[in-house]
Amino acid sequence: MSDDAYGRLEAAFANGDPLAAAAELQLEQRQALRSFWIARASGELTTALSFEFMLDDLRQLQAPPVLLELAERAVREEHRHVDWCLRFARILGDGEDARAELGGTRPLTFDGATDADNRVLRTVFGGCFSETVAVHVLRASQELLTEDATSRLNRQHLAEEIGHSRLGWGLLGWPGLGKKALGLVAEYAPAMQSLTRSLWLGPDRAHDLELEALGYLSRPLVQRALERAFDDVIWPGLEHSGVRL
């Protein structure tokens, strides 16, 4: 997002424009929406750390500079996502402080995989699985948003998540990765699918059109988007990349 675009959003926050419709919500709905934005901020913070681990992995793999640049940018963007999520939470709490918490401090590992294997699997999981689902979830959410500032911010998040997903797909397309690594990805694809479903479908947030119009990601919305991501992109994308499932 350009400095001008961020400046316009800053002005919108200063004027109290974002989530003006929240004033029409019942107290219970407002609290649920605030809790959602805090939880989402925590998820974004944890994802930022995961990209730091991926950046180190890619350096160890001697991946192309373009992939290192994507990972570095992803870390910065995820921290920016944390900031904006907390801003929404504070508005909903009438200025009450809101903080994000890390969901873990160690790099992701897969059972039975060596350290070298995990260096490949972490980036494939993060980009090809989790961030690809994120793209579909935010795209589905975009169709429901009614507040201008929320809609603009979601569009920017969506554009950045597309870039993050390219990190995994770009690694798979790198000739230096080798056929052995593609076989490794095929072996662990079921585990990565299971983990993706667990992470994305864990929060059991009920369908609520009023909240979804303000950026709330209900479980039914996420479920539909997740299935579309696997059917339309993840499985076909892996096959196209030479991963024989």
For the purposes of burial, counting CB atoms within 10 Å of the CB of 107, is it exposed (0-12), middle (13-18) or buried (19 or more)?
A: middle
Output the pLDDT for position 2.
47
Output the pLDDT for position 7.
58
Is 15 part of a structural domain of the chain? no
Which residues of the chain carry a pLDDT beneath 50? 1-2
Please count the structural domains in the chain. Answer: 1
Output the pLDDT for position 19.
62
Query: What is the distance, to the nearest Å, from the Cα of residue 116 to the centroid of all Cα atoms in its chain?
Result: 25
Is 108 part of a structural domain of the chain? yes
Is 188 part of a structural domain of the chain? yes
Is 6 part of a structural domain of the chain? no
Residues whose CB falls within 8 Å of the CB of residue 62, separated by 6 or more in sequence, listed in order = 176
219-222's contacts with Cβ under 8 Å and 24+ in sequence apart are: 221/137, 221/140, 221/141, 221/144, 222/137
Quote the mean pLDDT of the chain. 91
Segments forming the whole domain that contains residue 47: 23-240
Is 9 part of a structural domain of the chain? no
Output the pLDDT for position 12.
60
Output the pLDDT for position 157.
92
- Contact assessment for residue 133 and residue 94, using Cβ atoms and an 8 Å cutoff: no
CATH number, residue 212:
1.20.1260
Output the pLDDT for position 9.
58
Is 153 part of a structural domain of the chain? yes
- Contact assessment for residue 58 and residue 172, using Cβ atoms and an 8 Å cutoff: no
* pTM confidence score: 0.92
Is 245 part of a structural domain of the chain? no
Q: Which of 150, 131, 155 is nearest to 233 (CA)?
A: 131
Q: Which of 137, 157, 152 is nearest to 212 (CA)?
A: 137
Classify the C-alpha dihedral 187-188-190-191 as positive or negative: positive
Query: What is the distance, to the nearest Å, from the Cα of residue 44 to the centroid of all Cα atoms in its chain?
Result: 7
Is 10 part of a structural domain of the chain? no
Tell me how far apart the alpha carbons of residues 10 and 139 are, in angstroms, rounded to a whole number.
23
